[in-house]
Each structure stands twice: as structure tokens, then as C-alpha cells.
Structure 1
Amino acid sequence: METPTQIALVFAAQKGDQKAFEALVDTYQRELLVHCYRMLGSFHDAEDLVQETLLRAWEKHTALTNPGAYRGWLYRIATNLCLDRLRSAPRRFLPPETHPMSHPSGPVPPHLREPIWLEPFPDDVLADQRSDPQDRAERHEQTTLAFLIALQHLTPTQRAVLLLREVLSWEAREVAEWLNLSVPAVNSALQRARRAMQQRNLASQAPMAPPRQSIQELLDRYVTLWEQADIPGFVALLREDAWFTMPPRPAWFQGRAAIATMLATYIFTAGRQRRLLPVYANGCPAFGLYQREAGVQVFELIGLVVLSVDGDQIASLVVFLDLESLSSFALPSTLPSSLVIEAKSGS
């Protein structure tokens, strides 16, 4: 339910006060972006849909009959716009969901635009120090790549129902009205979505985060070993069944030996130097990945690596190589060769 101040802004917006409308929707814009991202798996598509949601809300501001339900009205518009987009858009995945495991010493396949890939999500958008730590932790878990992949295996309607009912805690009757479904149909879709998520064994794919000091030590070692191209030391940080992938290249590798061979063959080659710039993405530690070729004075941004950490080991590394998908992150395009960077474990 909206606060009295928000309801006053709704009334003003309904009378055509654009400044009141902008102040009102500013309250909800961030959470709508997260919701659309979960629905679509694309940060940029989510941004577009949020802007379209706000445009529709302004154009139809006189149609709202219950000013105390403005947030729900926005979610109704946003969710249906996402469902319309999903009718023609293919599902977004990562290479382990779409291609067989790659041979570590074989040729790395070229970039592919189809199937389209999941895009990373900057955790800065989730930052809200006013919320309690448990709430922040839950929001981060619900944007992990494991959670996003599991959502992609649901039908669009199941995805919408699961997010609206379980993640956002809207009532079944409200969701039924928004999606033009009956309450039994909503409950049935929710049950099917729950079963599908359980079959994905999501809990085992999103391990609990280790204590801050433990993860800081792991990240410090990760940075040092990566920048020194210390392959034996680096793979010792990995879980035995860890996997590594590099969308939009449809290649992926699993196991310490395979990852070590791949790194020696394609990544840690002579004449190159590497730097890592810490950020956070999808509720996980991440790094802007920079590389300097021989004879070049600066390190150039080549990707973003997102880590999944399980205890004191790394369970997976996803290196996003499409620089267009990284424009929402505060990553400079180059780093000076003299820059010294420390990893950050976050809060």
C-alpha cells in the first residue's frame, strides 16, 4: 500500500502534474528494473521495458481507479510488457545449457549471437542500505546466474507467476487479475514453476556465501594468481568440478585439468599481461578483465568475469566478452599500466 505522500503524488499525477509523476515513479524505477531483468535475462531489454512501462503509466494516468495500488499497477504494466516481449524473443542461457562441453586443446569457436545469452546485472542497482542485511542477501540470491538460468526453463507465464507470488509476495487474486488468469490457473502455474525449480536443484547451484574474511582471502589470491598467470596456483582455487565459460563464445570447460589446459592454450599466452578491477554482479564477486598486449601502454577492457564461490573454492567462472553488455557497469575502457588494484569482498 502506498504512503499518504505517495498517494498525494498519484492524485497530482492524475491531474497531469509531470513533476509529481516523476517523483512518484522514481520510488519504483529500480525495483521495476530488477523485476524486468529477472523476467528477460537482459539488463538492456529490462531498461527499455521499464521506460516503456513509465511511458504507458503516464499516458494512461487517468485510468487508475485505486490510487493506493499504484505500485501494483506499475507491476501489472511491466509484467505484461515483458510477456509480450517474450512471445517473440528466444530464451537466454549460458553455453553449458546450449552446447556440449568443449575440448580444452581444440579450437575455440567464434562468437555467436544466437542463441542469445544472459547478460550480467550490476549489483550497484540493488544497493539499498536502508534495507536489512537478510533482505539484501535474498535480493542478491534472486539475481544470481544460477537463479536466472533456472527461470529460463520456465514458460513466460510460469516465470511471471513465480516472481510475482514468491519473490514479490503479491496475492494470487492480484496476480490473476493482472495476467487475465483465474486464481486456480495462477496456483497451478505456481506449483509447476516450483517443481521445475526444484528439479533444477537450484539450492546446490547457489551455495551460501562464506564469511567475509574467508572470501576476501580467496579473492586476493585469485587476483594475484590470475595477474601472475600462475596456472597451477589458480586452478588449485577451483572446486574439482568447477566450470568456465565465455559467452558469446559457445565454449565451456569443466574440471581443473580442462580449465588449466584451456588457460595455457588460449588465455595466459606469452607477451600478454592482465589486470582485474573488482566490481559485483549478480550477487557475486566479479572483476572487469583487462589485458595488455606487448608494446601497448595501457590495459584494455576485454570482459567481465563473474565468480560463484562455494566455501573457500570457486565453483564457476563466467567471462562475459560482449562489451556492449557491460555498459551498465562503472568500468573504464582502459587502465594505466602503473595502477595497483585490491580485490574487495563487499558487505
Structure 2
Amino acid sequence: MEASTQTALVLAAQAGDQIAFATLVEPYQRELLIHCYRMLGSLHDAEDLVQEALLRAWEKRATLTSPRSYRAWLYRIATNLCLNMLTRAPRRSLPPEMYPKSDPGSPLPESAREPIWLEPFPDDLLTDPHTGPEDRALRREHITLAFLMALQHLTPTQRAILLLREVLEWPAAEVAEWLNLSVPAVNSALQRARRALQERNVLPETPITPPPPQLQSLLDRYVACWEQADIPGLVALLREDAWFTMPPLPIWLQGRVAIATELSARICIPGRHWHLLPTRANGRPAFGLYRQEAQANSYQFIGLVVLDVVEGQIASMVSFLEQSCFSSFGLPPTLPYEREHTRHFLS
């Protein structure tokens, strides 16, 4: 948005023009949503908080003294609302962060509501036609489940500083002013946060290259193995140390043998059929999981599996089974049993 246009809209909004305000904030809503999601680990909480931030911006519109700093002003409001929320909310996580490895022969536990789990984020909401390939690649890396899991180990203030300084590249002096800290305190917190994430190998120093052509073939084989109940073929696509989890079930399994046992005992059982509908989530390939039980005439949507692929093998499978997480993915609730689908994974 040109500076002159933004200034005119700010002045009109400050005078009470709601249409000018809506026009002014519309270009920033998606990037604020991504920022709040990174802070909170929940798409639903992020959506609610962005609306609260915009309401707060409308209520406090007269206090903005520099119309050209409107975007920064919105980020300051949204960041501080996130910090307030994090003071009263437990950190989100995934089962590998909270529980010991599960025994695939043990009875299936009840779903756990505490700790609260990370939620998936649809890649469609990451789309920005104004950014180049390198920027898009970094944006995807800064929203992966591995990155979000690592962020949860930072204090809320460290999390905010890392995202504002390292990901969004706001100046240290500006971040210090927003958070009522000194510049040395901001720089010190940033270094501690960087070290914590580098230890987990999730903070890329250079842009990630595009996926290799072999990834499409791997995903095609993954779908075929699921739909044909080919457990040996599916397990062969995994790394030796691959892990599999199904929040909100508080279980996780690691290694090909454990995962194969779980698949054969509880998932790919006789009389049950599966269909996978491709999508993308958290910068990674993902699939809507559809299950058809014996005698049923349709597949029922039951969850979303997000894959992480490392060096041509699947490193993790996170199957989100909480139905409330999926409204933003646009996946249909059912599919006809004989329906054919065209698969495009890398769009």
C-alpha cells in the first residue's frame, strides 16, 4: 500500500470512517493471522485474536500518531494480545514432547484434552503472490510443526522476540519499545532463543530449495500403500527413526516395527478401506484421511495427516484427529466409495 494512500485511509478511519478502516486493515489480516498462529500454535485462537486486535485498533485509532507506521502498530497490538493470552494458557505441544514412547500392543488410551495440542495450519493461508520463491520457502519453514514444537520451549517473550526480529525482521529498537524492554535485553533474548532452536535444528540459515521431483513419486507410493493396506510397502517409505502420533490420543510410536504393528492392529484392519485426499499443511504435504467401514457406501472424513520428508524418506506422520481443527481446509465431510481423484501434492 502506497504511503499516501495509507495516510489518507488512516486519517479517514480516525475520523470514524469504518469503510476506510476495513480497506486499511484488509491487506494485513493474513500476515497477522500467521504471526498469531506462530505465537499461539492454534489457528482458532489466532483467528479470534486477530479479530480482537482489529477491534482494539478501531477503538484506539485516535492514538496512532504516525500513519506511516500503521502496520507496525497493528503488530504491536496483536503481539501484546498474544503475550497476554499466553500468560493464562498452557503451552501447546504434540505427544512426543509430553509422553514416553508408546507400546503398540497396549490398549488405546482415551483422548487427552490436557495438555492442549498444536493445531494444523492450511498452506492456502500462506499464499502471497507478492513474494518470491525464496521468501515463500522460508515462510513455509517458519510454520512447520517442528518449528512450532521448538517455539513452545521458549518463554512467551523469547518467542515474540524471535518471531519479530528473526522471522519478520523488525528493528531491535522497535521491538524493544513494543515490549517495554531495552535493546540489549531484546538482543540477549534473541540469542538465547536462536541457540535453543539451533539445538533442535529447526531455524534455517538459508532459504530451503524447492522439493525434488522424487517427492511426488514418494507421495504417490504413500497414498497407494495406504489405500491398498500395503503395510510393508508403507513402512518401507519411512526412515528407521520415523515417528507417528495421533493427537488428541496421547500416544506416539517410533521406528518401523512399532509403526507397522500399530497399523496392522488398529488402522489397516480387514473390512476397512481408506482414501487419502491431498492438501498441504504447515508447509508440508498433507492428506485428508477418509475411512470406509464394512457395508458403508461412503468414506467418512476422520482427520488430517501431515508428513515431514527428509532426504527422500518420511520422517514423521502426525495424524490430527480433532474434528474442530479442519474447518479452514475445505475438505468435504464424506466421499463416495467409488469416487476417483486426481492427486496434485506440490502446488
User: Shift of residue 212 of structure 1?
Assistant: 4.4
In 1: Cα distance, 2:210 partner to 2:297 partner: 38
User: Shift of residue 345 of structure 1?
Assistant: 2.6
SS of alignment partner, residue 202 of structure 1: coil
In 2: Cα distance, 1:327 partner to 1:183 partner: 41
Superposition pairs of residues 195-234 of structure 1, within 5 angstroms: 195-202=195-202, 211-234=211-234
Paired letter, 2:191: Q
Q: Is the 8 A contact 2:95 2:250 kept in 1?
A: yes
| Per-residue deviation, residues 129-170 of structure 1 (Å, max 9, x unmatched) | 231111111100000000000100000000000000010000
The residue that corresponds to 1:242 in the other structure is 242
The residue that corresponds to 1:53 in the other structure is 53
Q: CA RMSD in A?
A: 1.5
| Per-residue deviation, residues 177-203 of structure 1 (Å, max 9, x unmatched) | 111111111111111111111222326
- The aligned length equals 345
Superposition pairs of residues 257-272 of structure 1, within 5 angstroms: 257-272=257-272
In 2: Cα distance, 1:4 partner to 1:228 partner: 60
In 2: Cα distance, 1:162 partner to 1:95 partner: 24
- Is 1:134 aligned to 2:134, yes or no? yes
In 1: Cα distance, 2:279 partner to 2:229 partner: 21
TM-score (norm 1): 0.97
Q: Is the 8 A contact 1:219 1:343 kept in 2?
A: no
Cα 1:315/1:149, change in 2 over 3 Å: same
Q: Is the 8 A contact 1:303 1:321 kept in 2?
A: yes
Q: Is the 8 A contact 1:227 1:275 kept in 2?
A: yes
The residue that corresponds to 1:251 in the other structure is 251
| Per-residue deviation, residues 45-97 of structure 1 (Å, max 9, x unmatched) | 00000000000000111110000000000000000000000001000010000
In 2: Cα distance, 1:305 partner to 1:36 partner: 23
Q: Is the 8 A contact 2:137 2:210 kept in 1?
A: no
User: Shift of residue 208 of structure 1?
Assistant: 5.5
Q: Is the 8 A contact 2:279 2:345 kept in 1?
A: no
The residue that corresponds to 2:314 in the other structure is 314
SS of alignment partner, residue 88 of structure 2: coil
In 2: Cα distance, 1:264 partner to 1:203 partner: 36
| Per-residue deviation, residues 6-27 of structure 1 (Å, max 9, x unmatched) | 2221111111110011011001
The residue that corresponds to 2:38 in the other structure is 38
Cα 1:187/1:287, change in 2 over 3 Å: same
Q: Is the 8 A contact 1:276 1:341 kept in 2?
A: no
In 2: Cα distance, 1:192 partner to 1:213 partner: 37
Q: Is the 8 A contact 2:302 2:321 kept in 1?
A: yes
SS of alignment partner, residue 250 of structure 2: strand
TM-score (norm 2): 0.97
- Is 1:167 aligned to 2:167, yes or no? yes
- Is 1:302 aligned to 2:302, yes or no? yes
The residue that corresponds to 1:155 in the other structure is 155
Percent pairwise identity: 67
Q: Is the 8 A contact 1:2 1:69 kept in 2?
A: no
Moved more, 296-305 or 177-186: 177-186
In 2: Cα distance, 1:59 partner to 1:141 partner: 35
Q: Is the 8 A contact 2:134 2:208 kept in 1?
A: no
Moved over 4 A (4+): 207-210
Q: Is the 8 A contact 1:109 1:250 kept in 2?
A: yes
SS of alignment partner, residue 243 of structure 1: strand
| Per-residue deviation, residues 83-118 of structure 1 (Å, max 9, x unmatched) | 000001000010000000001121121100000000
Q: Is the 8 A contact 1:210 1:312 kept in 2?
A: no
Superposition pairs of residues 80-95 of structure 1, within 5 angstroms: 80-95=80-95
Moved more, 5-14 or 133-142: 5-14
Moved more, 100-109 or 69-78: 100-109
The residue that corresponds to 1:178 in the other structure is 178
